[in-house]
């Protein structure tokens, strides 16, 4: 009798190397001009989201020590803290991401795959409204970090696919790019979508698919691709990251489909639109892999393992493994 396969999945590691740690945990507060907003954000970070965002690197070491020897390890994006908000073209963030990926590759390669997250490219600070996606970070993620926009691995009758959510969902993030860089981002998106179409078209009808997509904002755009819709019955599970906690995931699903509110500011309007589009998540059978650290309120971080039947006669069995912060 053929044995099954075991995979391990981690996401939103947000590893901080020495250079990012040197910026201090108030790196986000320093760019908020409004004193009242700055105070509110401090409270939110301290009691709800993340009290010490630059002091979670030890959790990666704990994962590596506990993971054993799975057939495949998948990291689902966000390897640095993106403390300059422009992605891994920032020297400090790039150093953090390199250290993070080097540790994982040293321990698990060649049985390792890494999906690109939004922190790799850069993103606008939610409260400080600085930063954004940079082509220099795309180039650094590819050349310096060795990350692939699309990866594919076969384990028995399972096909595991990783896509780059920030490219697929680019229409949502256009305002976060530099105007003179936007045409190149669109070219990269079209190239990526062509690769996705080709990959899904090549999958035999008797295979099951596990899809890895860091940010679920991309899923409505994948749904609009005819060949992806045709393969939806084969997608057993789509593993996302980005939301950090199942509390956020639950709230997102609860509010999915609410009409977007147009009079909000840029960031809140984008969040409202993303919740409206979340009604397209259901056919992808979405499961969240939380951040290694989870959130401060619940301390619910950890990682998943999954047992895959070689012949895919039964569904994959996922098990969550909590990690305790130091």
- 24, 81 Cβ separation under 8 angstroms: no
Strand partners, 213: 163
User: What value does the mean pLDDT take over residues 78-93?
Assistant: 98
Q: Per-residue pLDDT averaged across 180-204, rounded?
A: 98
pLDDT at position 11 is 98
Rounded mean pLDDT, 222-228: 97
In this prediction, residue 275 carries a pLDDT of 66
* pLDDT computed for residue 267 by the predictor: 59
Mean pLDDT (whole number) for 150-155: 98
175-183 mean pLDDT: 96
pLDDT beyond 50 at 135:
yes
> Are 305 and 7 spatial neighbours (Cβ–Cβ below 8 Å)?
yes
Per-residue pLDDT band for 129 (boundaries 50, 70, 90) equals confident
What pLDDT, on a 0 to 100 scale, did the predictor assign at position 256?
62
Domains of the chain (ranges, CATH numbers): 5-322 (3.60.21)
For position 252, what pLDDT does the model report?
A: 79
Residues 124, 177: Cα–Cα separation, whole Å: 9
Burial of 292 (0-12, 13-18, 19+ CB in 10 A): buried
Closest CA to 193 of 234, 160, 165, 158: 165
Residues 6+ away with beta carbon under 8 Å from 57: 15, 16, 17
What integer pLDDT is reported at residue 1 of this predicted model?
38
Q: 127: pLDDT confidence band, cut at 50, 70 and 90? A: confident
**Res. 155 pLDDT band, cuts 50 70 90:** very high
Q: Indicate the range of 101-105, 157-161, 263-267, 320-324 predicted with least confidence.
A: 263-267
pLDDT in tens, 238-273: 999 999 999 988 877 766 655 665 545 555 556 656
Compute the distance between CA of residue 115 and CA of residue 85 in angstroms, rounded to an integer: 19
- DSSP class of residue 11 equals B
DSSP characters over 26-46? TTTGGG---HHHHHHHHHHHH
Q: Average model confidence (pLDDT) for the chain?
A: 92
Q: pLDDT tens, 262-321?
A: 545 555 556 656 666 778 899 999 999 999 999 999 999 999 999 999 887 889 999 999
DSSP state of 113: E
- Residue pair 46/297 in contact (Cβ under 8 Å)? The answer is no
Q: What is the pLDDT of residues 38-85, one digit of tens each?
A: 898 889 888 999 989 999 999 999 999 999 999 999 999 999 999 999
Contact (CB, 8 A) for 137 and 177: no
């Amino acid at each position: 009798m053929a044995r099954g396969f075991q995979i391990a999945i981690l996401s939103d590691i947000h590893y901080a190397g020495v250079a990012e740690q040197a910026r201090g945990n108030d790196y986000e507060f320093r760019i908020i001009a409004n004193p009242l907003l700055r105070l509110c954000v401090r409270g939110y970070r301290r009691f709800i989201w993340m009290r010490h965002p630059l002091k979670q690197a030890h959790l990666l070491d704990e994962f590596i020590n506990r993971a054993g020897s799975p057939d495949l390890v998948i990291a689902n994006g966000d390897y640095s803290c993106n403390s300059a908000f422009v992605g891994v073209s920032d020297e400090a963030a790039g150093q953090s991401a390199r250290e993070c990926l080097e540790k994982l590759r040293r321990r698990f390669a060649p049985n390792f795959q890494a999906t690109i997250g939004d922190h790799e490219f850069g993103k606008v600070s939610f409260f400080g409204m600085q930063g954004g996606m940079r082509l220099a970070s795309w180039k650094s993620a590819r050349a310096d970090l060795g990350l692939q926009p699309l990866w594919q691995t076969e384990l028995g009758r399972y096909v595991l696919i990783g896509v780059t959510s920030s490219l697929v969902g680019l229409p949502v993030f256009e305002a976060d790019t530099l105007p003179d860089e936007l045409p190149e981002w669109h070219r990269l998106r079209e190239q990526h979508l062509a690769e996705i179409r080709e990959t899904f078209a090549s999958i035999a009808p008797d295979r099951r698919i596990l899809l890895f997509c860091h940010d679920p904002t991309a899923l409505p755009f994948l749904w609009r691709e005819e060949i992806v819709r045709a393969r939806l019955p084969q997608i057993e599970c789509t593993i996302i990251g980005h939301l950090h906690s199942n509390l956020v995931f639950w709230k997102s699903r609860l509010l999915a489909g609410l009409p977007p509110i147009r009079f909000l500011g840029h960031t809140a309007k984008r969040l409202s639109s993303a919740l409206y589009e979340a009604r397209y998540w259901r056919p992808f059978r979405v499961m969240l892999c939380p951040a290694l650290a989870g959130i401060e309120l619940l301390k619910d971080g950890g990682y998943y393992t999954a047992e895959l039947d070689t012949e895919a006669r039964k569904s994959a069995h996922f098990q969550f493994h909590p990690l305790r912060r130091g």
